[in-house]
Chains A and B, each alone.
Chain A
Amino acid sequence: MDRSRRLALKTGARAGVLAWLVAAGVLPVSAASVFSIHGVDAVMEALGAAGARESDAIEIVAAEIVENGAMVSVEVISRLAGTRQMALLVDQNPTTLAAVFALPDGTLPRLQTRIKMAQTSHVIAVIEADGGFSLARREIKIVQGGCG
């Protein structure tokens, strides 16, 4: 297989996945670009979540102080009706957006994962639910950064 054909196939497959994700409502914009955007406000805008209000119906469960920023356990719990999307942002990371999750009907609005944190910063959970976008933020102190 020559290289250009290979590249075309690869690009095609990737574009297909992206188109599908956008259609499924996982991402309102091109996915590759939203992960390369720097800064909370810019990422929120790209997610279509500009102007999201803080909500105490969203809970971020995490330790206050974490020794190793390479593995920070974070759980997001949403009590907002119709929660269908969760995004996790870290305001001081080189890559602001850590992950975006689409939760189809029937999937509980509660999810735990592990992220890297370069330094002490705020983790922000952005939730899309029936009432639009809302967010919660929580500071996590990092003893040794883990984005190297």
Chain B
Amino acid sequence: MSDPVRIRATVAEGVTQVRLMAAHPMETGRRRLAEGALVAAHYITDLTVLHEARVVLQARFGPSVSRDPYLVFSFAGGAPGETVSVSWRDNRGDSRSDTVTIR
């Protein structure tokens, strides 16, 4: 099981800013170990952010997104105590979903 997505959601003047970091190796499939073996591709392909039940961001990633994908964005609305959830799925079919409350 992978580590939780670190999420911070703060609201100011009617706009909620979301900062998130999903722990993931994001291997391209091109990296070689010292002894020459290729490291298999392993990267997040889909990431969705919800505010309560509403989609506020939908991302599709290729392997050019950095290790431990990091995103900052904002949406109109949101109130302290409401939830922001981040879900991802990777090219191996693994997935993870985490939720925080807006501060």
Contacts and interface: CB of A to CB of B under 8 A. Distances in A.
Interface of A: 10, 13-14, 17, 21, 24, 26-27, 31, 35, 70-72, 75, 90, 93-95, 97-104, 106-108, 110-117, 146-148
B74 interface: yes
A90 B56 CA distance: 25
Contacts, number: 112
B66 A114 contact: yes
A114 B65 contact: yes
Nearest to B44: A99
B103 interface: no
Interface of B: 15, 26, 28, 30-32, 45-46, 54-67, 69-77, 89, 93
Contacts of B64: 90, 93, 95, 97-99, 115-117, 147
Given A98-B65, A107-B74, A114-B65, 13 more contacts: A35-B60, A71-B66, A72-B66, A75-B72, A93-B64, A95-B62, A99-B61, A100-B60, A106-B76, A108-B76, A114-B69, A148-B30, A148-B32
